[in-house]
Amino acid sequence: MAEKPAATAAPHSPPAASTAQEGQAKVKAGVVKMDDIARMAGVSKSTVSRALSGSPLVNEETRVRIQALVESHSYRVDTRAQGLRKGQTRTIAVVIPLLHEHDQPISDPFFLELLGHIADAVADHGYDLLLSKIGPGRASGMTDLVDTGRVDGLIAIGQSTAHLGLEQLAARNLPLVVWGAQLADQHYVTVGSDNRAGAERAVSHLIAQGRRRIVFLGQRSVPEMRLRHDGYVAALEAAGITPDPALDVPTRFASAAALTAMRSLLCGGASFDAVFACSDVIAISAIRALQDQGLTVPEDVAVVGYDDIQMAAFYNPALTTVRQDTATGGRLLVDLLFAQIAGRSARSVMLPTELVVRASSGTVSGTTPPAPR
Amino acid sequence: MAEKPAATAAPHSPPAASTAQEGQAKVKAGVVKMDDIARMAGVSKSTVSRALSGSPLVNEETRVRIQALVESHSYRVDTRAQGLRKGQTRTIAVVIPLLHEHDQPISDPFFLELLGHIADAVADHGYDLLLSKIGPGRASGMTDLVDTGRVDGLIAIGQSTAHLGLEQLAARNLPLVVWGAQLADQHYVTVGSDNRAGAERAVSHLIAQGRRRIVFLGQRSVPEMRLRHDGYVAALEAAGITPDPALDVPTRFASAAALTAMRSLLCGGASFDAVFACSDVIAISAIRALQDQGLTVPEDVAVVGYDDIQMAAFYNPALTTVRQDTATGGRLLVDLLFAQIAGRSARSVMLPTELVVRASSGTVSGTTPPAPR
DNA sequence: CTGAAAGCGCTAACAC
DNA sequence: GTGTTAGCGCTTTCAG
């Protein structure tokens, strides 16, 4: 089979003709290269390159001829080669922590919502998005991503326990933005909600409903959760309530873990009239555990979650929760990363949160239609 | 600042020394290349390349020396250049359909669960995963991904309305696997659950509970949903029930859409005693709509969903649903793709489903603890 | 306006 | 065992 069409003989032949002839033969992708197009157009590779990158140095007629050839042969420039030459990748990595030890899948809907917005924003910049689930000892894996020339920058979702690793990356000056809490001594850029204020408002709301014995459900080893705990304590103290350590229940971010934690609290005979959960997923599991014990929400126990995942409004009872704005969060994450890639400096951003009051905290009747997002 | 250390002078100098000296200077990644390592080791680039790829043709002593240099300078081979030369990318793309017209984020937890498993499997193969949200007219975007040399293969999550586009890709012989329904005339490889059988069992279960007027909630334009509808009809007819078109309610995959659909059904005064929803997210929204009307689930209306997302077990009432095994699904998707990349042929796989009976269909009391996944 | 030439960082024949 | 020589497919000076 003739590999290279002898199209050089008729450089100006109508593209349509060659389409019909060659379309069939091209089974495998990438078969036609810039050189081929150049030869067919009767120009040099350089001219094709220029034409394709919209250089003004190219004759209009030539450009049109090249364009036609490109279309008809559905030629596409190889980004890999282009990137190698230009020293860029046009792709950024999003790193999601393994939620825990085992190769448990990413499971919190909140992450997916955020990821979706990040994906949109990255695409708007014309970049690709590499998704990477990295386990403990994340830092080295993340460094690799850029050292091996696979990505131009990194977005980490959740700092979880990797604070030190992230500091190392920042020290190396790699473009990096992380979704999470803004810590005092930190040198990397974060975007996140005002965890302390959000939690404080949620708990104050509970107190305003007449609740006094409020359970904290969350994992304080994660920075964001620690701040939420701070807010919880602050709200309590502002109301003259002394935090009871017995109501501080450590829980990981999985439904099952939350269920277990709640059950053991119930079995322990603790008395409480409200729960502040560090995520909606945790809140939902907690409610389930409560109901299984014959308790009603919000009558016996009022519950507030965090995140406002889509399902929160549809749960029964509809969940009162602290909304984190994933749309602007995602976009901000990406914008700040591109600022760094462009060599500009970026500052951490703390997003305001909004307390969305629904039925689970005892104020709204359960039959009110949930607010559409 | 001296760009290249004059290390050539002392080729065998202890790596530790140079680390200390240079560690500081290397701010930007990728600064040290294979040539540099070669020079420092006093060998040629090829030898370094060989040593690094574990070729047996390299002297043990040389290899050790090179290894040490590589470590101390934390040199990493550039995958981009490597890929260009070797004609591969070691990355595969996962394409998720924009759920609908607007740039709505990916939102169904089911997708995220599947994505998580795919990510694990891809990583196990040592490949990267490019995440791509592609809108209507997906096919061209997908082709691009491989034509521009960015990925070695494609996984599409959900065929939605892109069947024809996928056929085109398959015709071009691009490595491709799609999560979805196995259609009669299709030339691409799919992995998916047995939608027809799954739905049939779910609906039969409802009938066995004494329900006769069962609503179908889903979007039949999507192949998978059409099959589920077939199963729904089959179950009905097997029981001698004539499907009532009034109970066939088209619904997209979003919570809000499902809520609206259900509400208008209720307003229309239709009479029914059960609902079969095409996804758990739809089921949950439907239950919400029912409850808002003062109806109880499962007493007044029994509800069955599809997917068995994590939250299904925690909903109130706990959701009876058709479980799709995302773990083996994800792994299979990836395995079949790699088979194609390796030039082997692959066959579509239809996974069995499992009906998970919980409270929402009226059989189990609501206080039973949900089965852990 | 266009072409020739020199690489981007790496691997793979092919020599020695 | 190791070095030399060609590229992978593209962009970009530098000369016309």
The pLDDT tens digits of the residues spanning A297-354 come to: 999 999 999 999 988 999 989 999 999 999 999 999 999 999 999 989 999 999 999 9
Protein CA at B159 to nucleotide C1' at C16, angstroms:
57
B6 domain residue, yes or no: no
* B199 and B320 part of one domain: yes
* pLDDT on residue A323: 97
B37 to chain A, closest Cα gap in Å: 15
* pLDDT on residue A136: 67
Residues 57-86 of chain A with CB under 7 A from strand C are: 57-60, 62, 81, 84-85
Q: Quote helix, strand, coil % in chain B, to nearest 5.
A: 45, 15, 40
Region label for A145, one of left (φ > 0), alpha (ψ between -120 and 50) or beta (otherwise):
alpha
A7 domain residue, yes or no: no
In tens, the pLDDT along A160-189 reads 778 888 998 889 889 999 999 999 889 999
Across the range A262-277, mean pLDDT stands at 92
In tens, the pLDDT along B102-156 reads 445 567 889 888 998 999 999 999 999 999 987 766 778 888 999 999 999 999 9
* A97 and A173 part of one domain: yes
The token duo for B136 is 């209507």
| CATH code of residue B73 | 1.10.260.40
H/E element, B235: helix B223-238
Dihedral sign for Cα atoms in the order B150, B155, B161, B166 = positive
- The number of domains in chain A is 3
* B283 and B213 part of one domain: yes
Task: For the full predicted model, state whether its pTM sits above 0.75.
Answer: yes
Interchain CB distance below 8 Å, B147 and A30: yes
Interchain CB distance below 8 Å, A311 and B89: no
A13 domain residue, yes or no: no
**How does strand B91-97 pair with strand A354-356?**
unpaired
Tell me which protein residue sits closest to nucleotide D8, measuring alpha carbon to C1'.
B85
* A98 and A179 part of one domain: yes
Phi and psi angles of residue A81, each rounded to the nearest 5 degrees, phi first: -65, -40
A242 to chain B, closest Cα gap in Å: 32
Query: Per-residue confidence of chain B (373 residues) as pLDDT tens digits?
Result: 333 333 333 333 333 333 323 332 333 444 899 999 999 999 999 999 999 999 999 999 999 999 999 999 999 999 999 999 999 999 999 998 765 444 455 678 898 889 989 999 999 999 999 999 877 667 788 889 999 999 999 999 988 778 888 898 889 889 999 999 999 889 999 999 999 999 999 999 999 999 999 999 998 988 999 999 999 999 999 999 999 999 999 988 777 888 889 999 988 888 999 999 999 999 999 999 999 899 999 999 999 999 999 889 999 899 999 999 999 999 999 999 999 999 999 999 999 999 999 999 986 544 444 444 4
- Name which of A147, A173, A174, A297 to mutate to probe chain B: the one with the most chain B Cβ atoms within 10 A of its Cβ: A147
A78 to chain B, closest Cα gap in Å: 4
* pLDDT on residue B101: 42
Residues in chain A closer than 8 A to B368 (CB atoms): 292
Interchain CB distance below 8 Å, A107 and B109: yes
The token duo for A216 is 């904290």
* Nearest nucleotide, CA B35 to C1': C9
* pLDDT band with cut points at 50, 70 and 90 for residue A159: confident
A9 domain residue, yes or no: no
Residues 259-318 of chain B with CB under 8 A from chain A are 259, 281, 284-285, 287-288, 291-292, 294, 310-311, 313-316, 318
Residue of B nearest to A75 (CA): B147
A367 domain residue, yes or no: no
* A189 and A337 part of one domain: yes
B83 domain residue, yes or no: no
| Segments forming the whole domain that contains residue B232 | 195-324+355-361
Can you tell me the distance from the alpha carbon of A340 to that of A173, in angstroms, rounded to the nearest whole number? 9
* A264 and A314 part of one domain: yes
B179 domain residue, yes or no: yes
* A27 and A101 part of one domain: no
* pLDDT on residue B162: 81
Residue appearing with tokens 């020290």: A171
* B205 and B316 part of one domain: yes
* B28 and B148 part of one domain: no
B77 touches strand C (CB under 7 A): yes
- Identify whether the C-beta of residue B227 lies closer than 8 Å to the C-beta of residue B184: no
* pLDDT on residue B9: 32
B96 domain residue, yes or no: yes
In tens, the pLDDT along B218-268 reads 989 889 999 999 999 999 999 999 999 999 999 887 778 888 899 999 888
Can you tell me the distance from the alpha carbon of A157 to that of A176, in angstroms, rounded to the nearest whole number? 11
| CATH code of residue A276 | 3.40.50.2300
Mean pLDDT for all residues in chain A:
86
CA neighbor of A324 nearest in space, from A224, A238, A204: A224
The token duo for B334 is 């990836």
* B188 and B335 part of one domain: yes
In chain A, at which residue ranges do the beta strands (DSSP E only) sit? 91-97, 128-134, 153-157, 176-179, 189-193, 214-218, 248-250, 274-277, 302-307, 320-323, 349-351, 354-356
* A207 and A246 part of one domain: yes
Q: Does residue A372 sit at the B interface (CB-CB below 8 Å)? A: yes
Neighbour count for residue B68 (Cβ, 10 Å): 16
* pLDDT band with cut points at 50, 70 and 90 for residue A221: confident
* pLDDT on residue A29: 43
* A202 and A185 part of one domain: no
For residue A323, give every residue at least 6 positions away whose Cβ sits within 8 Å of its Cβ, in sequence order, or none. Answer: A307, A308, A353, A354, A355, A356
* pLDDT on residue B294: 92
